[in-house]
């Protein structure tokens, strides 16, 4: 089952690279729409084979629609951010999601935020500043780094999504919840995309973009979630959560040679500080999945 966990985090790390490939020929809304079109049938087949209940109760409808809206916003913010920053930076910034979740849980749910968590947040914040500024902290031009800030914002949208759907995911199979959340999102995005896009050009997409879309839909959405669930079931959330530290490394390992993205000392130090901050804050706690690709 360790191979399942390793496969899932590597796939999730590579989704940022695949998204960057798609953005060369598609808009963020188009990328999300096509990803949903591919992912939903695959998830539906898996759920059917596993004989999962797909119906929704009246009690579940509200959290489901709220979660779907937040999920849609999250992906649009993240994909738009990727259009303006590197996959490498995205992978390292996204690693801060557990800390963002801790802060929002404190603000929204009143959960305790101790000295260890505050220290971790401070360390990770320094790492993010180094990543965004690329070491030029004194040059305030880095404050205009739209893509990086959008990726950081997507950490918050994912945290809000997780909080809004946490009770739903405790009662139902996470794979089924993922499928049910994506259906309203697909309806909205399809309507929007057909009004705003020239869909005829989708028939002329280059092979590289088609492969990237298939990767996002089949592996990044369906297979990786299935692998992750199996790994968590076998090892538990605490031990499985450690594997999430490998996700930004997987992104960097592919983005640097394939997309020819730069990887300098400030990226290494900044990314390392983000991971150190997350580890420091949660080193004695039970781990929880906080990923968002």
For residue 210, the model assigns a pLDDT of: 96
For residue 287, the model assigns a pLDDT of: 46
Give the residue ranges of the chain where pLDDT is below 70: 1, 134-144, 236-241, 284-293
Give DSSP secondary structure letters for the chain.
Answer: -HHHHHHHHHHHHHHHHHHHHHTTTS-HHHHHHHHHHHHHHHHHHHHHHTT------HHHHHHHHHHHHHHHHHHHHHHHHHHHS-HHHHHHHHTTHHHHHHHHIIIII-----HHHHHHHHHHHHHHHHHHHTT-TTSGGGGG-HHHHHHHHHHHHHHHHHHHHHHHHHHS-HHHHHHHHHHHHHHHHHHHHHHHS-GGGGGG--HHHHHHHHIIIIIIIIIHHHHHHHHHHHH-HHHHHGGGGGHHHHHHHHHHHHS-----HHHHHHHHHHHHHHHHHHTTS--------
For residue 70, the model assigns a pLDDT of: 94
For residue 83, the model assigns a pLDDT of: 94
For residue 129, the model assigns a pLDDT of: 78
For residue 288, the model assigns a pLDDT of: 47
For residue 133, the model assigns a pLDDT of: 76
For residue 142, the model assigns a pLDDT of: 54
């Amino acid at each position: 089952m360790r191979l399942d966990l390793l496969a899932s985090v590597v796939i999730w790390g590579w989704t940022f690279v695949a998204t960057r490939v798609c953005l060369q020929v598609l808009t963020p809304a188009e990328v999300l729409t096509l990803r949903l079109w591919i992912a939903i049938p695959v998830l539906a087949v898996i759920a059917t084979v596993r004989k999962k209940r797909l119906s929704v109760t009246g009690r579940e409808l509200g959290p489901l629609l709220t979660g779907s809206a937040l999920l849609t916003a999250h992906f649009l913010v993240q994909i738009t951010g990727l259009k303006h920053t590197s996959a490498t930076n995205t992978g390292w910034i996204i690693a801060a999601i557990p800390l963002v979740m801790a802060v929002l849980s404190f603000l929204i749910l009143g959960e305790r935020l101790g000295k260890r968590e505050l220290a971790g947040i401070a360390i990770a914040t320094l790492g993010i500043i180094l990543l965004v500024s690329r070491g030029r902290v004194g040059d305030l031009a880095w404050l205009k780094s739209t893509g990086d800030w959008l990726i950081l914002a997507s950490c918050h949208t994912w945290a809000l999504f997780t909080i809004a759907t946490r009770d739903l995911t405790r009662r139902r199979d996470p794979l089924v919840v993922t499928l049910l959340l994506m259906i309203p999102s697909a309806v909205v995005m399809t309507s929007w995309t057909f009004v705003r896009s020239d869909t005829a050009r989708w028939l002329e997409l280059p092979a590289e973009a088609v492969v990237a879309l298939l990767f996002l839909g089949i592996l990044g959405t369906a297979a990786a979630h299935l692998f992750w669930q199996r790994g968590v079931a076998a090892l538990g959330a605490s031990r499985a959560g450690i594997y999430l530290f490998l996700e930004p490394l997987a992104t960097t390992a592919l983005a640097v040679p394939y997309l020819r993205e730069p990887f300098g000392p400030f990226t290494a130090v900044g990314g390392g500080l983000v991971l150190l901050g997350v580890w420091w804050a949660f080193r004695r706690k039970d781990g929880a999945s906080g990923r968002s690709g």
